[in-house]
Amino acid sequence: MEAPRLYSTKPVQSLKPTKKIPLEEDLGKASDALPLPLYLTNALFFTLFFSVVYFLLSRWREKIRTSTPLHVVTFSDIIAIFSFFASFIYLLGFFGIDFVQSLVFQPSPDVWIAEDEEEDNEVLLAKEDARKVPCGQALDCSLPPLPPAAPIVTTQKVCDEKPLMVIPEEDEEIVKSVVSGTTPSYSLESKLGDCKRAAAIRREALQRLTGKSLSGLPLDGFDYESILGQCCEMPVGYVQIPVGIAGPLLVNGREYSVPMATTEGCLVASTNRGCKAIHLSGGATSVLLKDGMTRAPCVRFGTAKRAADLKLYLEDPDNFETLSVVFNRSSRFGRLQGIKCAIAGKNLYIRFTCSTGSAKGVQNVLDFLQTDFPDMDVIGISGNYCSDKKPAAVNWIEGRGKSVVCEATIKGDVVRKVLKTSVESLVELNMLKNLTGSAMAGALGGFNAHASNIVAAIYIATGQDPAQNVESSHCITMMEAVNDGKDLHVSVTMPSIEVGTVGGGTQLASQSACLNLLGVKGASKETPGANSRMLAAIVASAVLAGELSLMSAIAAGQLVKSHMKYNRSTKDVSKASS
C-alpha cells in the first residue's frame, strides 16, 4: 500500500530582490587605481612609516642631548612629520578601519541570517535573468520549483530535527490507539504477533507522547523474538556498547581472549597490559574454593521460642539428610549443601546453600516443614539474607556463587619493563591503598583497586546479570615481595562471583558469541556446571590483571596522564551516532 504523501510545514520565504547584479560586467577594485601593484604599495608605505619613526626618534634624542628646544624644527623634520602622518593615514585606512568597525559595530545574528537569505535570493534572481531563451507564450517563465520536502511521520512536532522512520498507514491507527491509551503498550507483541513491528509502533508512540526523538537509538538489526518473555519487556530499541579484547590471558596453562563491554577509556588497555605481565611471568593459577548459590526465605511464628525451635531443628546434622532428599527432588542438578539460620525476634531467616539456587527446592522444604510446624507463616521466598544484588557481610564471609582465589608471581624484570614501576612501590601502595585506605573507609568487601570495573565489563559482554556485580566484585587484593624482594606475588580472593552460561542474557547472539570466544558457551556436556566454574576463574584472573596494571599506573604516576589521553576525548561523536 502506498503511504500518503506528507509535506513539510516549514514556510517558504518569498524572494525579494534588493540589489541589481550586472552579470556581464566585471566590477573594478579600488586597488586598480593605484600606480603600483597593491603589495608594492603596502611595502612602500610600511617602509616609509618605520623609517620616518626611526628618523624622528633619532632627531629628538639628539635635541635632548644638545639641549635644543623640541619645537625648533628644520625642513627635514617637517618633511618627516608630514611623511609620518601620510603613511599612518594610509595604513590605518587600509588595515585599521574595517577592523575597528567590526569591533564597534558588531551585527546581530539576525543580520547575518538576513544577509545569507538575501544572497540566496540574489542568486536565484540572477539565474532567472540569465535565461538564454526569451519568454514566449509556450514557455514556462516561472521560477524553478523547490525540491520536494522529505516525508515526515506525523504532523506533531518532535523536538529533535533528525529524520524519523516512516510509519506504514496500517500501523498509524495502532500508534494512535497506543497514544490515546486505548491499546496498552505492553500488549502489542501478543496482539500483533510480530515483535519487531511491536517495538517500532511502541517507539513511535513514545516519541509522540514525549515530543522527544529516539533517532539515535537503533531499532533495526536486533532479534526481538529472542528477548520475548525472558530478557526485556516493552522494547523500543537497543543500546550499543563497544566490546574490546584483553589478552591473551594465561590461566591454569590455557590462554583466553577476554571480551570486555565498556565505555570507559583505558580499561581494556590497562587490563591487557596486566595480561601481558602475567603471561610473561608464566601465567596465573586459579582455584575454585566453593560453588553454591543461596536463597533465604523469611518465616514468622507466634513466639520467639517457636522460631528458635525451628532454627535448632534445621541446624541439627541429624536432620540434614532428610531435608536434602526433600530439596533434591526439585531438580536433576540441584543439591542442598548447607543451611544457616538467623533469628530476629519471632522471625527466622533460613539461608539455603545449594548447587543451583533452586527456588522450587526451597519451596519443597518449606512445604515439608509445615507438617511439624503448622504455625509457621512464610513471609517471602526471599528475605534478603541471601543476599542478592546488595553488599552484605554474609556474602563476604560465607560466600555466594563461586568463591575463587587467583594468584601469580610477576618477575622483577617484568615489573620494571612492562609495568614501569618497582616491587617495593607496589607492595607499599597496596598496603596503604587497598588495605589501610579501604579499612579507614569502612569498606565491605572492597579491599581492591577496581575489581568492579573488570567484573562489570565481562558481565555485560557475556550476558550475566549486571546488578550482581555488587557482590561479585567483593575482592581483596594482596601483594608481597618474594624471592629476596626481586619478584612480586599478587593475588585476588573473590568469595561471591555469580555467573552462569545458560539462560537469561547468555542466549542472545552477541553475548553467546563472547561466551563461545571463551569456550564456555552453554552447558558442559561432560560435567554439569563446569563452564560456569571456568567462567568464574576467568573473571577472577582478569580482575588480577586489572588490579596489577592499575596499581602499577598509580605507583608510577601514569594514571592521570593515561586518562587525560584516552578517557577525555574532545571528539564529538553525536554526528557519528546519527
Q: Which pLDDT tens digit goes with each residue over 557-574? A: 877 666 666 666 556 555
Pick the more confident residue, 60 or 389: 389
In a domain, 271, yes or no: yes
CATH label of the domain that carries residue 360: 3.30.70.420
Range of the domain at 173: 169-227
pLDDT at 356: 74
Asked if residue 234 lies in contact with residue 202, where contact means CB atoms within 8 angstroms, the answer is yes
Residue 58 pLDDT level (bands cut at 50, 70, 90): confident
Of 227, 253, 276, which closes a domain? 227
Closest alpha carbon to 338 in 346, 347, 350: 350
> DSSP letters of 99-151?
HHHHHHSPPPHHHHHHHHHHHHHHHHHHHHHT-SSPP-TTS--SPPPPPPPPP
pLDDT at 314: 96
Residues 560 and 443 in one domain: yes
> C-alpha distances in angstroms, 147 versus 12, 14, 196?
12, 15, 33
**Is residue 105 predicted with pLDDT exceeding 70?**
no
**Is residue 142 predicted with pLDDT exceeding 50?**
no
Pick the more confident residue, 34 or 306: 306
Residues 315 and 436 in one domain: no
Please tell me the least confidently modeled range out of 24-38, 39-53, 138-152, 292-306: 138-152
> DSSP letters of 290-342?
EEEEEE--EEE-SSHHHHHHHHHHHT-HHHHHHHHHHHHTT-SS--EEEEEEE
Asked if residue 403 lies in contact with residue 287, where contact means CB atoms within 8 angstroms, the answer is no
CB atoms within 10 A of CB 396: 20
Residues 464 and 558 in one domain: yes
CATH label of the domain that carries residue 413: 3.90.770.10
CA–centroid distance for 564 within its chain? 17
Residue 52 pLDDT level (bands cut at 50, 70, 90): confident
- Residue 344 phi/psi, 5-degree rounding, is -135, 90
In a domain, 320, yes or no: yes
Please tell me the least confidently modeled range out of 60-69, 197-206, 463-472, 569-578: 569-578
**Is residue 445 predicted with pLDDT exceeding 70?**
yes
**CA-CA distance, 168 to 128, in Å (whole number)?**
40
CB atoms within 10 A of CB 385: 21
563 is catalytic: yes
Please state, rounded to an integer, the average pLDDT across all residues of the chain.
83
Of 62, 91, 120, which closes a domain? 120
In a domain, 485, yes or no: yes
CA angle 93, 95, 97 (to 5 degrees): 55
In a domain, 393, yes or no: no
Q: Which residues contact 9 (CB under 8 A, 6 or more apart)?
A: 155
Residue 258 pLDDT level (bands cut at 50, 70, 90): very high
Pick the more confident residue, 41 or 315: 315
For 506-545, the pLDDT digits (tens) are 999 999 999 999 999 999 988 889 999 999 999 999 999 9
pLDDT at 19: 44
- For the chain, count helices (H), then strands (E): 21, 11
pLDDT at 567: 63
Residues 274 and 418 in one domain: yes
In a domain, 268, yes or no: yes
Pick the more confident residue, 556 or 571: 556
Q: Which residues contact 329 (CB under 8 A, 6 or more apart)?
A: 361, 364
Cell numbers for 570, please give them. Answer: 574532545
Under DSSP, is residue 184 helix (H, G, I), strand (E, B) or coil? Answer: coil
CB atoms within 10 A of CB 24: 5
Pairing label, strands 475-482, 446-447: parallel
Residue 120 pLDDT level (bands cut at 50, 70, 90): low
Q: What is the dihedral of CA 207, 213, 217, 218, to 10 degrees?
A: 70
**Catalytic-role residue among 264, 309, 315, 480:** 264
Residues 103 and 175 in one domain: no
**Is residue 353 predicted with pLDDT exceeding 80?**
yes
Residues 366 and 467 in one domain: no
**Is residue 137 predicted with pLDDT exceeding 60?**
no
Residues 260 and 302 in one domain: no
pLDDT at 396: 96
Q: What is the mean pLDDT of residues 62-69?
A: 81
Asked if residue 495 lies in contact with residue 486, where contact means CB atoms within 8 angstroms, the answer is no
pTM: 0.70
Cell numbers for 174, please give them. Answer: 495502532
Under DSSP, is residue 403 helix (H, G, I), strand (E, B) or coil? Answer: strand
CA angle 235, 236, 242 (to 5 degrees): 90
Please tell me the least confidently modeled range out of 108-117, 461-470, 497-506: 108-117
**Is residue 97 predicted with pLDDT exceeding 70?**
no
450 is catalytic: no
Residues 199 and 310 in one domain: no
465 is catalytic: yes
Residue 152 pLDDT level (bands cut at 50, 70, 90): very low
**Catalytic-role residue among 176, 196, 340, 389:** 389
> DSSP letters of 485-548?
TTEEEEEEEEEEE---SSSGGGGSHHHHHHHHHHT--S--SSSTTHHHHHHHHHHHHHHHHHHH
In a domain, 372, yes or no: yes
Asked if residue 145 lies in contact with residue 12, where contact means CB atoms within 8 angstroms, the answer is no
Q: What is the mean pLDDT of residues 336-350?
A: 96
**Domain tally, the chain:** 4
Please tell me the least confidently modeled range out of 159-168, 174-183, 265-274, 294-303: 159-168
170 is catalytic: no
**Catalytic-role residue among 128, 428, 465, 480:** 465
Residues 302 and 274 in one domain: no
Q: What is the mean pLDDT of residues 500-509?
A: 93
**Catalytic-role residue among 63, 340, 346, 563:** 563
Pick the more confident residue, 310 or 152: 310
Indicate the burial class of 475 (C-beta count within 10 angstroms; 0-12, 13-18, 19 or more): buried
Q: What is the mean pLDDT of residues 437-459?
A: 97
Residues 409 and 475 in one domain: yes
Q: Calculate what percentage of the chain has a pLDDT beyond 90.
A: 62
Residue 477 pLDDT level (bands cut at 50, 70, 90): very high
In a domain, 237, yes or no: no
Q: Calculate what percentage of the chain has a pLDDT beyond 70.
A: 77
Residues 333 and 362 in one domain: yes
Residue 100 pLDDT level (bands cut at 50, 70, 90): very low
Residues 270 and 306 in one domain: no
Residue 18 pLDDT level (bands cut at 50, 70, 90): very low
In a domain, 96, yes or no: yes
- 35-44, 156-165, 535-544, 563-572: range with highest mean pLDDT: 535-544
Indicate the burial class of 77 (C-beta count within 10 angstroms; 0-12, 13-18, 19 or more): middle
